Structure 1
C-alpha cells in the first residue's frame, strides 16, 4: 500500500511554470509530474518526498500528491520500510515507455554491430547519445567485457557543458541554435563559464577540422574521451558517438591518430548505410506467401 506523509499546507509556488508564463496550452501539473521523475538518477535511485521537493523546488504537499499518483500508475514504486515515511524508486512503467523510443531510433539499430567492433578494436566503450535539455543521454553502449565496470550504459547522462559528447553536439548545431544553448549553459554554471566557453570553442574547431573532438581526463583523470557528431536528414538534432578509454591505454597521439579517425569513419559508415536503406525500394513478397494470402 502506498503510504505518504501527512498532507502539508500548500506553499507558495510559481503556478505559471517559470519560462512558460502566459502559455495557456502548457499543462503545469503534467510538467511537475515529469520533474518528479527526472529527480531520480543512477546516483540517487531512492528518494523520499522531502528529497524530491529539494531537488525539484516543488512544495512538499504537491510532491506528496504527485508521488501518490505516479505510484498508482506504476511510474514509481513505494518502499514502505525506507526512511520514516517510506521512499520511492522508479517503476517499470518508465522502462516500458522508453522502449518505443529506443526501438525507433534507426541509427541505434544500424550502429550496434559497428559500435561493438570498434569497442573491441580499441579496448574501450563506444556509446551513442542524444540531447535531453542541458544533458546528453546514452541510448546505446557497446563495451569490452574487461571494461564492464565503467559507468557507460543506456540512460547515463552527462552535462552538456561538461562532457566531450556535449561539446561535439554543440559543434554540429547551426550557429543560432548553438548560441541559444550556450546562453542556457552559461546561466547554469556561471562560475565555470569562462573556462568552459574556451574548451567548447576548441572542441568546435577540432570537429570542424577533424570530424571529432578529444577530452583528456575532463570528467575523470583516468579516462579519455573522443566524440564525433552525426547529423542525419529528417532526424532533427544531431546524434553523437563517443569512445571512452582508460588513460593508460590511450596516449595523446593514439587519441588523435587512431581512435578519432576510427570514430569519424563510423560516422561516415552510418551515414552511407542509412542513406542506402532509405533508397532501397520495398522488396516484393515471395510468390508462395502471396498465394497463401
Structure 2
C-alpha cells in the first residue's frame, strides 16, 4: 500500500535478456563489475555478462477502481525472430487467482507506451479475431505512439514488421471497440494517479505518477531497463528510438524522484522491482528496495 493505493505486481517472465552493454550501450564494464554485489543475480548474470530483466504488469486499486498498467506480452502472438513468438502463459489465471481480478473487473488499462511487451494482453484471440481482454475498461494510449505505430505513420515508418503486427493485434481492436482513449501531455486518472508524457524511448512514452496520503511513486515504463541507468542516467537502452531525448527525460524523472521521495517503479527491474532514488553529488544512487512480495 502507498497511501490509499494498493499495488500488486504480476511477473509474466524474468530471465537473462541481452548482453549487458548491448542492452545499455555506453555503460562501462567497470560500472557493472563495481556493483556486482547487488546487481547479481536479479539484474545481471556476471558469468555470462547478460542483463536480467522482468516482464511484468502492475495492478492498482485506487478510489474503488482497478487499473492495469502495461499488460504484458499476450498469448499466441506473431513475433518472428523473438523468443516470445507464439508465447503462452497463465497470465489471466494468475490475474484472477493471485490479484483477485477478473478481466471484467478492470476499469482502466494504462499503456505507458506501445511496445509489444506492454500491450499484449490488451486483447485476446483466437489469432485474427482479437477483441479487448478487459471488456469494461477504458484503455489509455499515448496519442504520439498511436500515431507513430499506427497506419497514419505507416506502422513506425515501416522500420520493423513487428510494429504493424503489434498495432493490428493489440491496438486496432481497441479503436474498433470504442474503448481507446488517446491523450497527450498529462492525463489525470483520479485524485491519486496522473499520466505524464516522457518521450524518447518512443515518441509517446510516458510515466504514471502516484501521490496518496503523503506517499509517492512513479511508474517509469521503459525509461530504465536496468538499475545501472540510475547510476549512469546518460546511458539509454538500445531500444530507445531517441536516446538523447530519453536520457534527458530519465534525468528529469530521477531528479524529481530524489527530491519528492518517489518510489521508482520501472517496467523491467527484477528482484523487488522498485527502488528509492537518492542524490549522490551531481548524480544519483539507489536507496532501499521496495518491501512487497511478488505474486
Q: TM-score, structure 2 length as denominator?
A: 0.28
Whichever structure has more helix as a proportion of its residues is 1
Bigger Rg, structure 1 or 2? 1
TM-score of the superposed pair, with normalisation by structure 1: 0.28
